[in-house]
């Protein structure tokens, strides 16, 4: 491998610093310049909580404060980036140690932060990443059933904020087959993990006599709207097209070098690609819900990190610099 720019920075602390800095600048840019008074937190499924008091504070005054929203989103996105980095390092998704997963997700998040609705998407992304981490950990410690249960429960929690992500469960079961842990017991554990969360919510609703959350959840779950591409601006088309080029380049790079990867790594990366395509389909039928872009970008960060970490050519370096320039430019374009 030719030792050049990407090879030198792949394990550099500069990627951590740059990722955190870009995410912080994006958050403070939102608070002090772009959208301070234009967005408030609104989680439709939890709207019945607004107006209530807890520990002397009125919940809606906390939830609907944009500063609280931006700070909480920073912490959740930062936490998601840490999970992705741990995911990549712990399970050796990349042959060489790489900090690209953390950096790439921070850049993705910073770029679209202005477009992410205040509807719990950041919470959902955090639990989605944690769920994927637990799902893949079942091959490591021998506790397959516990890992599947935890992963399913975490994905169910993510669905409380983005209901349609619950439809990713069939993909989860397919992934269990790819990494060779699918069995009747693991499938049953997955079902129990899913049901347990809603069982708790049902009994909570029964005790308080308020089924608003369950009704809102069911209504949102059954509403579908195909994305309207005609509503995309030219800038959005350029950025999404470029991310598509990056993903295609990463997939072709991986598939052309399958023989160089361990069987476990192949299974993991193929599983991530399967999850990515599953989330992409959900986004297409979500009416362009920007919350789903966080799920897509979390998986994209892992896949594209594999490409940038192992391929150091003029083509990959060009894509990297274009990606940074486009991401910074798009942040300001989205803000205007």
Helix (H) or strand (E) holding 58: strand 57-58
Domain count, the chain: 1
Structure tokens at 315: 């083509």
- Domain residues for 160? 5-335
Residue of 233, 234, 236, 253 lying closest to 319 (CA atoms): 253
Q: How does pLDDT run along the chain (336 residues), one tens digit per residue? A: 445 778 888 888 888 999 999 998 888 887 776 554 444 455 555 555 555 555 555 555 555 666 777 788 889 999 999 999 999 988 888 888 889 999 999 999 999 887 777 777 888 999 999 999 998 876 555 567 888 899 999 999 998 888 889 999 999 999 988 888 888 888 998 999 989 888 888 887 777 777 777 777 877 777 777 877 777 788 888 898 999 999 999 998 888 877 777 777 888 888 999 999 999 998 888 777 777 889 999 999 999 999 999 888 899 999 999 999 999 998 888 766
φ, ψ for residue 266 (rounded to 5)?
-60, -45
φ, ψ for residue 141 (rounded to 5)?
-110, 5
Half-sphere exposure of 113 (CA within 13 A, CB side): 34
| Cβ count near 263 (within 10 Å) | 9
Distance CA(285)–CA(226), nearest Å, equals 4
Distance CA(78)–CA(84), nearest Å, equals 10
In sign, the C-alpha dihedral spanning 81, 87, 89, 95 is negative
Structure tokens at 285: 């039928």
**Burial class of 195 by CB neighbour count within 10 A (0 to 12, 13 to 18, 19+):** middle
Q: What is the pTM assigned to this prediction? A: 0.88
């Amino acid at each position: 491998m030719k030792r050049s720019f990407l090879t030198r920075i792949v394990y550099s602390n500069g990627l951590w610093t740059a990722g955190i800095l870009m995410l912080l600048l994006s958050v403070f840019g939102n608070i002090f310049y772009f959208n301070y008074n234009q967005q408030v937190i609104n989680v439709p499924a939890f709207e019945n909580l607004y107006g209530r008091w807890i520990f002397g504070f009125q919940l809606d005054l906390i939830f609907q404060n944009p500063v609280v929203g931006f700070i909480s989103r920073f912490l959740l996105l930062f936490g998601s980036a840490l999970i992705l980095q741990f995911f990549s390092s712990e399970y050796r998704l990349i042959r060489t140690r790489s900090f690209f997963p953390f950096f790439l997700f921070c850049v993705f998040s910073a770029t679209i932060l202005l477009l992410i609705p205040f509807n719990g998407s950041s919470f959902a992304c955090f639990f989605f990443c944690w769920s994927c981490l637990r799902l893949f950990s079942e091959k490591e410690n021998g506790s397959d059933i516990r890992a599947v249960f935890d992963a399913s429960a975490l994905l169910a929690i993510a669905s409380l904020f983005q209901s349609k992500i619950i439809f990713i469960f069939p993909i989860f079961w397919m992934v269990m087959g790819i990494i060779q842990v699918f069995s009747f017991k693991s499938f049953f554990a997955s079902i129990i993990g899913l049901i347990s969360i809603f069982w708790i919510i049902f009994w909570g609703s029964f005790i308080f006599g308020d089924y608003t959350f369950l009704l809102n959840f069911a209504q949102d779950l059954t509403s579908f709207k195909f994305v309207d591409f005609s509503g995309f601006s030219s800038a959005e088309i350029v950025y999404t097209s470029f991310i598509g080029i990056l993903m295609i380049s990463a997939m072709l790079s991986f598939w052309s070098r399958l023989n160089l990867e361990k069987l476990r790594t192949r299974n993991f990366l193929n599983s991530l690609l399967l999850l990515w395509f599953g989330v992409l389909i959900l986004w297409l039928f979500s009416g362009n819900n920007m919350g789903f872009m966080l799920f897509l970008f979390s998986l994209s960060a892992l896949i594209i990190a594999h490409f940038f970490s192992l391929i150091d050519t003029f083509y990959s370096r060009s894509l990297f610099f274009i990606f940074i320039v486009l991401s910074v430019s798009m942040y300001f374009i989205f803000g205007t």
